[in-house]
Amino acid sequence: MTEQLPAIIFLVPFFAAVMMPMIGMKNQDWCRPVALTALAVMSVTSISMYAGIVSHGPISYAFSGWAPPIGIEWIADGLSGLLIMMVSLLAFVTVTFAGPATPAGIGGRIPYYYTLILLLISALSGIVMAGDLFNVFVFLEVASLASYALVGLSGGRALISAFRYLILGTLGAALYLLGVGYFYAVTGTLNMADVATHLPELLKSKAVMAGLIFMVLGLAIKMALVPLHGWLPDAYTDAPDSITPILAPLVTKVAVFALIRILFWALGAKTVIQDVPILLIVSWLGAIAAIVGAFLALSQTEIKRLFAYGGISHVGLILIGICLGNQTGFAGGVFYLINDAVMQAVLFFIAASVFYRHGIRTVTDLVHIRGQMPWTTAALVIVGLSMIGIPPTGGFFGKWYIILGALDAGNYVAVAAVLAATLLTLAYFVKIFEYVFFESTSVAKHPASEIPGPMKFSMGALSAAIIILGLVSDQVVTLILEHALPRGLIT
């Protein structure tokens, strides 16, 4: 039964998505309970699978009994199991949060909304578990198509942002697929483990280098890496408030995971550290993204756009850690990826909540929530401290391990980039806190007006998770070091 868990994790949300239009035709009120049930089952199964991976080792699932490299293989190991658990739990919590705001945000298109959400989650799980390069592309495109439709679901200006997202996302997919074609032409295989056995003797091939460049560029667009980030701010700003908290924590993070898989599992840690300077290039791009994203966030006045640029900055921080070429930096990058997924969800919970209750869209209008939304204000303080990197939040320990990894590697540029991005993040959160706590206002005092129960529960759960991740950071990083490291990564 254990070896079937990867398929079950994928099929539960997928079958729920297929059934959703028929359920919606019968009774739209059933859509949300069915979606939440599917995501709850997925979450429980992913936790069970990860526990099995830690106890008994990775799971390889071969489709239709065809063994790899000929057949399609899914891999659930210490890294993919951790990411699947993150995806499923965050999907459940974010869909729970979105419930009260969903009908107004999407014009009543309830069955379409839940169908697309479930397709997105199942596709993301497929990306994380895919053991071959082509199936990463297939699931990447399914996830992207669902994302385009979700962004444009409310119509109006969101359709323009969704179209821009579609154009750039299609370019990214084409570049990635072109790279896969080059790899297949040279190696004759698509299975990542099999590719890794062929590449050491083919590194001088121009086709291999071209394929790697194309794949990295394609995934860089998908993860909104500066300067290929143009689609993200508008998409996240104009998407309905019930959708952005689902897209922001998951879509770019899974694209980062796909890059990790290709660099360290298809090429191999030894190759990317010693033979091909790809880690150096990506780490430089990550450093630029960390600083530029935070700098652009500082000048924003619209809340969702500010948070979107903050997310771009934090993708850069993750890449800095991953590309340091040592175990400490890699573990810090993965740990920060998990933390940032939670933080991004909370940030867009806050943006959705202040609009839902008070119609607030700009930073200057946050003055109106003073004394009105204590639950939301507390969540803003917690996530702000974590984004800045103040202990005992998870954000602090993620940055701490990245800096330790950079010092071990003698990469002082990476240390400077993390510190610069942190100072810029501090600057824009000081601006936010100034309006929430200190700016003078003539607004009349009213009784506290908080958000509905499901929204409050979701925001509280993930705000608590930010602190809990900090308190158990040693244990989580130990799990990453013991079960999620690629072979050949230096200490």
List the structure tokens of 273: 């550290």
The runs of H, that is alpha helices, within 223-323 are 231-238, 244-261, 269-270, 278-298, 303-322
CA distances from 101 to 107, 238, 304 (A): 11, 15, 16
Helical (H) or strand (E) element with 73: strand 73-76
| pLDDT of 61 | 83
| pLDDT of 447 | 53
Q: Could you report the per-residue pLDDT of 21-69, keeping only the tens digit for each?
A: 888 888 888 888 999 999 999 999 999 999 999 998 898 888 767 777 7
Nearest to 75 by CA among 3, 176, 180: 3
Q: How confident is the model at residue 203 (pLDDT cuts 50, 70, 90)?
A: confident
The terminus-to-terminus CA distance of the chain in angstroms comes to 36
Q: How confident is the model at residue 477 (pLDDT cuts 50, 70, 90)?
A: very high
227 preceded by cis ω (within 30°)? yes
Sequence-distant (6+) residues with CB within 8 A of 474 are none
Q: Could you report the per-residue pLDDT of 159-181, keeping only the tens digit for each?
A: 999 999 999 999 999 999 999 99
| pLDDT of 444 | 47
361: three-class secondary structure by DSSP? coil
Q: Could you report the per-residue pLDDT of 428-448, keeping only the tens digit for each?
A: 999 999 988 876 665 545 555
- Distance, in Å, from the CA atom of 140 to the CA atom of 432, rounded to the nearest integer, reads 35
CA distances from 100 to 86, 94, 142, 464 (A): 23, 12, 27, 21
- Distance, in Å, from the CA atom of 51 to the CA atom of 54, rounded to the nearest integer, reads 5
Nearest to 445 by CA among 348, 371, 336, 367: 371
Q: How confident is the model at residue 198 (pLDDT cuts 50, 70, 90)?
A: confident
| pLDDT of 449 | 64
Of residues 238 and 358, the one with the higher pLDDT is 238
Residue 348 main-chain phi, psi, to 5 deg: -80, -20
| pLDDT of 470 | 94
| pLDDT of 290 | 95
Residue 132 main-chain phi, psi, to 5 deg: -135, 155
Q: How confident is the model at residue 273 (pLDDT cuts 50, 70, 90)?
A: confident
Q: Is the pLDDT of residue 462 over 70?
A: yes
Length of the chain: 491
Annotate 67-100 with b (16+ C-beta within 10 A) or e (fewer). ebbeebbbbbbbbbbbbbbbbbbbbbbbbbbbbb
| Tokens 């309006």 belong to residue | 435
Q: pTM (2 decimals)?
A: 0.92
